[in-house]
Structure 1
Amino acid sequence: MEFALCGWPEDAHPLRLDYREFAYAGKFVMTTTGKAVVGDDGVVAAAAFDEDRTDSDTLCVRYVTVRRDRQGEGIGPLLLRFVRERAVERGYDRLTIGANNPFSYQAAYRAGFCFAGEERGLGELTLEWPGDRTTGRYQSGLAVFRQRDLSEGEQAFLDDKHDGEPPPVVDPPT
């Protein structure tokens, strides 16, 4: 798989993804966000990001999407790690991302993000890098999801993580 930074927000780089294969496909057409992708036979995952509106030292990852037929392979955390490393190289001290389900929460943790202890938007838990990677903080975010109406898969996932440690951070993509 190849990882590529398509551009920063000021580069006005649109990315057209097939809405039948990618969640949030329409969000990637916007030219106000930076983009990064991973692919092997075409794009298999994409991330969109921009600078925090209130803190110029913080980069906000707005959307991450993995092609439906490639979900569950660990590509999302690798792409997030790639974006994180490029952001640090560019001088950002902090990154944030919102997670609206337990699977995206876990993926962000695998990329080195941590629950910030707050919610934003429509039920998104804010995760940040760097942050508190203690078991208590990790479990406090999972506890928020446990209070929601979840699918059977999400509930089983949370049951499996009950009292568990945060997942290890994935190695950087090569």
Structure 2
Amino acid sequence: MEFTLLGWPEDGHRLRLDYKQFAYAGKFVMTSTGKAVIGDDGVVAAAAFDADRTDPDTLCVRYITVRQDRQGDRLGARLLRFVRERATERGFEHVSIGVNNPFSYQAAYRAGFCFSGAESGMAELDLVWPGDRSTERYQAGLDLFRERDLSPDEESFLAAKADADPPTVLNEWAEQPSARTD
């Protein structure tokens, strides 16, 4: 698999994704965000990002999407780490992402992010890098998800994470996915 930074927001790059295979596919057609992808036989995961409107030292990852048939392979976490590393190389001191489900929350933690303690108006938990990766902070975010109407899979996932430590950060963004235990 190849990780590629297609461009930064000022490059005006468009990416067309199949809306049947990718959530948020329409968001990648916009030229106002930078794009990064993982390619295999075509695009299997994509990210869109831009600078925070109020803090030029922070890059905001707006969307991460993984092709339906590749979900569960930890591609979202690997792509998020790849984007984070490119952002720091470009001089960003902080990177943020908002997540709206416990699976995305876990993926962001695997990429080195942590719960900031804040929620946005779109029912998203704000995760940041760098930050507090304590078990208490990790569980505080999971507790907010536990208060929501959840799917059976989400409820089962959260039950399995009760009192758990944060997941280990991926050693390298290009590491191959391993057998999942969570």
Same fold (TM over 0.5): yes
1:145 is matched with 145
Residue deviations 1:47-81 (CA, integer Å, cap 9, x gap): 00000000000000000000000000111100000
Aligned letter for 1:169? Answer: V
Please report how far the alpha carbon of residue 122 of structure 1 lies from its aligned counterpart in structure 2 after TM superposition: 1.4
Opposite residue 71 of structure 1, the aligned amino acid is Q
Which residue number in structure 2 is paired with residue 169 of structure 1? 169
Q: One-letter code of the match for 2:156?
A: A
Distance 1:124 1:82 in 2: 22
Looking at structure 2, the residues matched to 152 and 173 of structure 1 have their Cα atoms a distance apart, in angstroms, of 30
| 1:135 counterpart letter in structure 2 | T
The one-letter amino acid paired with 1:59 is L
Partner of 1:68: 68
Which AA in structure 2 matches 1:80? L
Query: Displacement of 1:39 after TM fit?
Result: 1.1
| TM superposition shift of 1:171 | 2.0
Runs of 4+ residues deviating >3 angstroms: none
SS where residue 48 of structure 2 aligns? strand
**Distance in 1 separating the partners of 2:121 and 2:130:** 21
Partner of 1:108: 108
Distance in 2 between residues matched to 1:121 and 1:65, nearest whole Å: 21
| RMSD (Å), alpha carbons | 0.5
Deviation at 1:172, TM superposition (A): 1.9
Structure 1, unaligned stretches of length 5 or more? none
What number of residue pairs does the alignment pair up?
Answer: 174
Corresponding residue number in structure 1 for 2:39: 39
In structure 2, runs of 5+ residues without a counterpart are 175-182
Match of 1:28 in 2: 28
CA distance in 2, matches of 1:86, 1:122: 27
